[in-house]
Amino acid sequence: MILLGPPGAGKGTQAVVLSKTYAVAHISTGDMLREAVKGGTPIGKEAESYMKKGELVPDEIVTGIVAERIARDDLKKGFILDGFPRTVAQAKSLDDALTKLGQKIDLMLYFATSDGVCIKRLSGRRVCRKCAAIFHSTNIPPRSEGVCDFCGGALYQRDDDKEETIKKRLLVYKQQTQPLIDYYKKARVLREVPGDLEVNELSEVLATTFNEAHLA
């Protein structure tokens, strides 16, 4: 299953819920790239400058890390791709990689979310440095300010959640990622969900959509 939508649509938040509910792996290219940056790996060093500017990391880097990840044995029950693919070239490369593994995309959930909602969500987002849990200063506040409810780690604001970078990321999404809506409509796997809904309401819609797609 793929989660597609603009930055701040709530893909990461819902991926955690879906992954727990259906006991399938959550693969986030954003998280993988941030880990690589933190670890100072060659991929991380190359990706960092693009991420800071709110631009997409080159296709060949991202498709390489995803192809390696989805070929591992722990994904037999299925998996959720969050933040990948983001270009038509990435989608084609994913199709090729899945065909080689004898698999296919069953469902693509498109989070239709308005710009204003995305901007508010991203500017208030706080992430745990230790376990990567996602909070929001007003929508989903932690019990104690600046501290993760789950592991006690410190919360921080992502570098790319600054106003100018958010605007750039929304523009990049419209130019390079939105064409995937047609790509997956043609593949007959796309279902649109209302991304502006609050977290629990949206989780309910996703569960219904998942069941209607006969994947549960």
Residue selected from 54, 155, 183, 184 as contacting ligand AP5 according to rule CB under 6 A:
54
169 is catalytic: yes
Q: Which residues neighbour 99 within 8 Å (Cβ) at sequence distance 6 or greater?
A: none
- Residue from 209, 142, 212, 171 nearest 56 by CA: 171
Residue selected from 1, 65, 125, 210 as contacting ligand AP5 according to rule CB under 6 A:
125
Q: Residue type at 186?
A: K
Scan residues 16-45 and list those touching ligand AP5 (CB under 6 A): 29-30, 33
Asked if 69 touches ligand AP5 (CB under 6 A), the answer is no
Q: How far apart are CA 166 and CA 8, in angstroms?
A: 9
Scan residues 169-188 and list those touching ligand AP5 (CB under 6 A): 169
Residue selected from 27, 57, 148, 206 as contacting ligand AP5 according to rule CB under 6 A:
57
Q: Give bridge partners of residue 27 from the DSSP assignment.
A: 81
Q: Which residues neighbour 190 within 8 Å (Cβ) at sequence distance 6 or greater?
A: 108, 110, 181, 184
The one catalytic residue among 120, 158, 168, 191: 158
Asked if 97 touches ligand AP5 (CB under 6 A), the answer is no
Q: How far apart are CA 141 and CA 144, in angstroms?
A: 8
Residues that bind ligand AP5 (CB under 6 A): 5, 7-13, 29-30, 33, 50-51, 54-57, 62, 83-84, 86, 90, 121-122, 124-125, 134-136, 139-140, 160, 169, 197-199, 202
